């Protein structure tokens, strides 16, 4: 099983520092999500230009935030800067975010996503597409010489898992425990596609305080139906139950359970203030997972 870093930087210089620390610690990839922090693609472009020899990934970009042409232009540009090190993770954002925060429609999200891929994949692979759909139509081309970035999808439901297996390299999950990977993700995805599991990690000897911190930081997730379903499947009562919190052995044992469950890569999310990030990266990189 590979170990990588899942980072949500607000400062690009800090992203560069964390990516370099992750590379030095032997982690294989630097992932960053599209949330309310520093822009994902801009950040990865800077990291790509400054930190060699580490994979890069978006975890994930929401299809609702840009048309396929723009997504492909940005992805191929980062691939160009990085020498082909980018994995483009994309998905469908959650209904409360799409409708309440962005004021966009939510109807037929799966159908919209399929048509989005009909335009995006040819643009990523060849730089051109011709597709006409109910929701997405693109007759366009781009000129960004680069290796096509690897594509992965955020998938939890059966239809999305099947789509990820059919049209991408696999799925990227977040707060999805080992039981869910074994019983739901891996069977729905099949054996040939990859599973990257994003997991919150807090190395600490004050478990109660760390759990309180995690529950506050992750308070939105128990309110989202897809994550609520994961929590029920895992027997979790609060968000902290889906994080690895404790000493080095607790974290190492927890990571090993993800490998046993069928995860090919665990993206360790630093559940700590920015000034503590370097220490967490070093702790994870030094773990004995043999």
Q: Residue 273's pLDDT is what?
A: 67
Q: How confident is the model at residue 99 (pLDDT cuts 50, 70, 90)?
A: confident
Fold category of 2-286 in CATH: TIM Barrel (3.20.20)
Average pLDDT over residues 54-62: 96
Average pLDDT over residues 271-281: 74
- Output the six-digit token pair for 26: 């032997």
Is the pLDDT score of 276 beyond 70? no
Distance separating the N- and C-terminal Cα atoms of the chain: 10
Q: Is cis: bond before 169, omega within 30 of 0?
A: no
Give percent of the chain with pLDDT exceeding 70.
98
The DSSP code sequence of 213-257 is HHHHHTTTGGGSHHHHHHHHHHT-SSGGGGSEEESHHHHHHHHHH
Is the pLDDT score of 275 beyond 70? no
Count of other CB atoms within 10 angstroms of residue 150: 20
175 sits in which H/E element:
none
Tell me phi and psi for residue 86, to 5 degrees: -90, 135
Average pLDDT over residues 80-89: 98
CA 50 to CA 44: how far, in whole Å?
10
CA 284 to CA 2: how far, in whole Å?
12
CA 92 to CA 107: how far, in whole Å?
12
Q: Where are the domains of the chain?
A: 2-286
Q: Residue 200's pLDDT is what?
A: 94
């Amino acid at each position: 099983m590979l170990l990588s870093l899942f980072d949500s930087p607000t400062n690009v210089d800090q992203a560069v520092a964390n990516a370099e620390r992750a590379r030095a610690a032997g982690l294989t990839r630097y992932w960053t999500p599209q949330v309310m922090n520093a822009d994902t693609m801009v950040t990865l472009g800077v990291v790509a230009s400054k930190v060699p020899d580490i994979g890069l990934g978006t975890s994930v970009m929401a299809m609702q935030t840009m048309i396929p042409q723009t997504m492909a232009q940005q992805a191929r540009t980062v691939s160009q800067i990085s020498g082909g090190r980018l994995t483009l993770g994309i998905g469908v954002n959650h209904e409360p975010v799409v409708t309440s925060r962005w004021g966009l429609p939510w109807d037929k999200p799966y159908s919209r996503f399929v048509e989005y891929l009909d335009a995006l994949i040819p643009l990523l692979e060849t730089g051109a597409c011709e597709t006409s759909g109910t929701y997405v139509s693109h007759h366009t081309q781009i000129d960004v010489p680069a290796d096509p970035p690897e594509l992965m999808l955020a998938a939890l439901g059966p239809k999305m898992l099947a789509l990820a297996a059919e049209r991408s390299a696999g799925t990227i999950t977040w707060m999805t425990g080992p039981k869910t990977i074994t019983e739901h993700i891996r069977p729905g995805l099949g054996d040939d596609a990859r599973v990257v599991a994003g997991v919150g990690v807090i190395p600490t000897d004050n478990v109660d305080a760390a759990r309180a911190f995690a529950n506050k930081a992750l308070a939105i997730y128990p309110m989202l139906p897809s994550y609520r379903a994961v929590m029920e499947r895992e027997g979790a009562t609060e968000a902290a139950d889906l994080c690895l919190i404790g000493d080095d052995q607790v974290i190492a044992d927890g990571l090993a359970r993800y490998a046993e469950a069928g995860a090919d890569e665990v993206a360790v999310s630093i559940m700590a203030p920015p000034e503590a990030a370097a220490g967490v990266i070093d702790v994870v990189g030094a773990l004995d997972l043999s």
